[in-house]
Structure 1
Amino acid sequence: MDGFDASAYLRRLGLSDPGPPSVAALHALHAAQVERIAYEALDIQLGRLTSIDPYDSAARITAGRGGYCYHLNGAFALLLDALGYEVTWHRAGVQGRQAAEPPGPAPANHLALTVRGLPAEDCPSGVWLVDAGLGDGLHEPLPLSEGEYVQGPFRFRLRRSAAAPGGWRLDHDDRGAFTGMDFGMRPAVVGEFLDRHRYLSTSPDSGYVRTCTVMRRDAGGADVLTGCVLRRVGVGAGRREVLETRTEWYAVLADLFGLTLTDLDDADRETLWTRVRGAHEAWSAGRDASGPPEGEDSGPRRATDAVSGQDLA
């Protein structure tokens, strides 16, 4: 495939040749993607509008960066296609914890994927929900059929969607960063996400603009960095640490999330840290004055703001 280096991408995932398309290989690829490629939107904190062309997103990932759903699932779809999988893009909508109703797929604030042609005992239709862009969402693909599924500490539910006629609804665990995700079955293309990507990257009402959140999923749960607050969901839960210095913050990005950020010069790093630290101090001042909202002590805003890209607080 011209302009795409599948071997370099696989090296980024820590995988060699996964072999021909299979259920086992798809699960291994998905798990490696969410474990090795961080969910992040750091460029938005720097005021930069990134490309969501899948070839650009794949180059971004092979160079050591992560991204959010348009980057992560767009690039992952490109890899799967290059490896021989039958993969389809879908317009989707993520519902944040504070939203009364699911947005449905109309605003296209999320890109979801399905893979066809891989029947298995638990998936006789051969259609799988593949989504590496949900932060603390799926660790491995799910068979696209109604039911409840457990992955590590999280329980998911797949059912028919009321917000996307003919489509599907993924309900997240109550401990997750978002309530659920609805998607339609009509195939989508990158152009259908451009307007929303611009809004999510530039609007002062966007959760990505308001909050710096980085996440990484693994088999036992998820690591979440919200502003300067690092916490763990799932195995090892209860760990919560405030990163007080620039050195600590960048060390966590590199060591825990795999983000060495070699593409940022020292001025960029100082700008990014100053913005993140300033938001954290503003949140801390407000929290000291009024106390945290009930059940909330994780950071300047819930991570759900970043997953849905909306101001839900």
Structure 2
Amino acid sequence: MTTMDVRGYLTRLGLEDISGPPSTELLFALHRAHVERVAYEGLHAQLGQTTGLDPAESAARIAGGRGGYCYHLNGAFAALLERLGFAVARHLAGVQVRFEDPPGVLGNHCALTVRSENRDWLVDVGLGDGFHEPLPLRAGVYDQGPFSYALTPSDVVPGGWRFTHDPRGSFPRMDFAREPVALDVFAEKHEWLSTSPESSFVRTCALLRRDAKGVDSLIGCVLKRVDASGEVVVELETEHDWYTAVADVFGLTLFDIGDEQRHELWAAVHARHEARKSARDVDR
């Protein structure tokens, strides 16, 4: 395992000058900065790039200007918190992607809890359009900006918890087991999600970013902003517009991707977008 560049990571978060012992205030500041500055993205799967679960590797990618999906983001963030003195636990979790899917703890997500100042918090920077600040690990309904979330005991895993997303969220709910696990238990699922033709990360290019007032998402060629005023949806029709949104809205300049790869990525994303449009037209 390589050594984590803590300073580079904190610089990406805009918090390179933090000092003092771990505190709930610091935890909240780190969480807010992470979801605002580091986009949720599975471009490695779109590009056929091999990525591991080593938190230092994920942190280096983040410091270099990229994002990642849950294993990368929560894996790196957990390690960063531990280096700053926080008590962190990783949990086997399952995101219910569609309402018709049965809930379960299938390992397609790694959830985090943090013990700070005698309280337990649900911490998650890897949900894409999830919560902006940590949630207290107790049953209740929690409003953050224009969104409302719920935490309840899980009915699919004894002793576990269920996070229910706002109705406008990209998924309905996430369950997680209470027992801590090591990050390497997700290795097999990570490989499948990154490489299988059946994986949503391989089939669909998705970028998401949360801020205090709302959520930005780019699914294929559809750019959407959701906030208190409603939804604004724009279809990006050119490669220039698509990469401009990737950079300006999601903070991903993609300097690590060459021109040929960039053209190939856009061509694949646009082709799938057009195919879906054609399929919808046929169904009408």
Report the TM-score when normalising by structure 1.
0.87
Q: Which residue of 2 aligns with 1:27?
A: 28
Percent identity, aligned pairs only, is 54
Q: Which residue of 1 aligns with 2:71?
A: 70
The answer to whether structure 1 residue 251 and structure 2 residue 249 are counterparts is no
Q: Which residue of 2 aligns with 1:301?
A: none
Measured in 1, the distance between the counterparts of 2:227 and 2:195 equals 32
CA RMSD, 1 decimal: 1.4
Q: Which residue of 2 aligns with 1:12?
A: 12
Measured in 2, the distance between the counterparts of 1:175 and 1:50 equals 31
Runs of 4+ in 1 over 3 A off after TM superposition: none
The answer to whether structure 1 residue 160 and structure 2 residue 150 are counterparts is no
Q: Which residue of 1 aligns with 2:205?
A: 212
Measured in 1, the distance between the counterparts of 2:270 and 2:192 equals 24
Q: Which residue of 1 aligns with 2:185?
A: 192
1:91-141 deviation digits (Å, cap 9, x = unpaired): 1000123334202x2x2100000111323xxxxxx1110000001111100
Structure 1, unmatched stretches of 5+, are 120-125, 292-313
Measured in 1, the distance between the counterparts of 2:249 and 2:32 equals 16
| Pairing of 1:23-172 with structure 2 (within 5 A) | 23-103=24-104, 105=105, 107-119=106-118, 126-172=119-165
1:153-202 deviation digits (Å, cap 9, x = unpaired): 11111111111111111111111111111111111112200100111111
Residue in structure 2 matching 1:233, options 216, 226, 236: 226
Letter in 1 for 2:15: L
Report the TM-score when normalising by structure 2.
0.96
Measured in 2, the distance between the counterparts of 1:255 and 1:150 equals 28
Q: Which residue of 1 aligns with 2:256?
A: 263
Contact 1:156 1:172 (C-alpha < 8 Å) held by counterparts: yes
Query: Once structures 1 and 2 are overlaid, which stretch shifts more, 233-242 or 172-181?
Result: 233-242
* SS of structure 2 residue aligned to 1:238: strand
Measured in 2, the distance between the counterparts of 1:18 and 1:150 equals 27
Shift of 1:49: 2.8
Q: Which residue of 2 aligns with 1:298?
A: none
Shift of 1:236: 4.7
Q: Which residue of 2 aligns with 1:273?
A: 266
Measured in 2, the distance between the counterparts of 1:195 and 1:260 equals 30
Contact 1:38 1:215 (C-alpha < 8 Å) held by counterparts: yes
Specify which structure has the higher proportion of strand.
2
| Pairing of 1:274-313 with structure 2 (within 5 A) | 274-291=267-284
Query: Once structures 1 and 2 are overlaid, which stretch shifts more, 182-191 or 33-42?
Result: 182-191
* SS of structure 1 residue aligned to 2:230: coil
Shift of 1:22: 1.0
Contact 1:231 1:237 (C-alpha < 8 Å) held by counterparts: no
Query: Once structures 1 and 2 are overlaid, which stretch shifts more, 275-284 or 13-22?
Result: 13-22
1:249-289 deviation digits (Å, cap 9, x = unpaired): 11111111000000000111011111101101101111222
Measured in 1, the distance between the counterparts of 2:146 and 2:59 equals 30
Measured in 1, the distance between the counterparts of 2:101 and 2:277 equals 27
Contact 1:41 1:67 (C-alpha < 8 Å) held by counterparts: yes
Q: Which residue of 2 aligns with 1:311?
A: none
